[in-house]
A and B are shown apart, each in its own frame.
Chain A
Amino acid sequence: MHVREAGGSAGPRRPVAEDIRIPVESDSDIVAARHRGRMLAEQLGFGKTDQTLIATAISELARNIVLYASRGEIVLRQETNGESSAVTVIARDAGPGILSVEQAMREGFSTSRSLGLGLPGVRRLMDDFEIISRVGHGTTVTAKKWHRS
């Protein structure tokens, strides 16, 4: 299954630095991942509100990894496109995958009692959102937030 929602500009992208990779397999990694994300957003000039939105999205995505896949990684990528810069959060795992991405993207859907809203909420926090999941192979969520200077 494949759901794509691209809201930002689709021009050529230019990575400006190496990816930051944070292994995620425990609760403490969730806090570490969102802390790194906030730091990166701050370096790129994002305001405090956007920093908080990005950190919150990372927290939700990292929690999904710990809950559903046990382990995986959060990759933080920065890029610039003319006047704009962006933070991309990639949450990747080789867990069981999502049976129905459409269902998982529906408001209020959760397969775990401990997860409030999950993916639809993360999509609202960020500008671009993409999820690719294959049952038995894992899930990759890519969420991007643009900063226009």
Chain B
Amino acid sequence: MKVPILEQGPFLIATVLSALEDDELLELRTAVVERVGRCRSRGVIFDLTALDVMDSFACRTLRDIATMIRLRGARTVIVGVQPEVAFAMVQLGLTLDNVETALDLEEGLACMSAKPAAAPGHGGP
């Protein structure tokens, strides 16, 4: 699997290891949403350090996954978005609105542990 999902205490950590095809992104969506229930996780961290391109499909799928995780009662933090990926996303007009982000895995775990699940955003799009 290109995105191993590891249990770390009450959290799940999904690490993207290489470029993902659309099918693999959709598989990840199914796998994570199922694991949140099975592991009774309070949050999921997506580590995108190794992701070299975020296009509109990947961005939309990640937003969908975060929304589904929230509906399952857990939080999502996206970490490791590289500077050039962030630049390309802004140029393309892509946003991860209503999804929490942190610099790296360490910050993401700190962010998860720091405060209890608060609903991000105000109603959403």
List A residues at the B interface (Cβ < 8 Å). Answer: 27-28, 30-31, 34-35, 38, 48-49, 51-53, 55-56, 59-60, 63, 107, 114-118, 120-122, 124-125
From A31, A38, A60, B21 is in contact (CB under 8 Å) with: A31
Contact (Cβ within 8 A) B93 A124: yes
| Nearest CB in chain A to that of B88: its residue | A56
Interface residues on B, range: 20 to 34
From A27, A38, A49, A116, B93 is in contact (CB under 8 Å) with: A116
| B103 at interface, CB cutoff 8 A | no
- By a CB distance below 8 angstroms, the chain B residues around A120 are 93
- By a CB distance below 8 angstroms, the chain A residues around B53 are 34, 52, 55-56, 59
Contact (Cβ within 8 A) A49 B84: yes
| B85 at interface, CB cutoff 8 A | yes
Contact (Cβ within 8 A) A49 B87: yes
Min Cβ gap A52→B in Å is 4
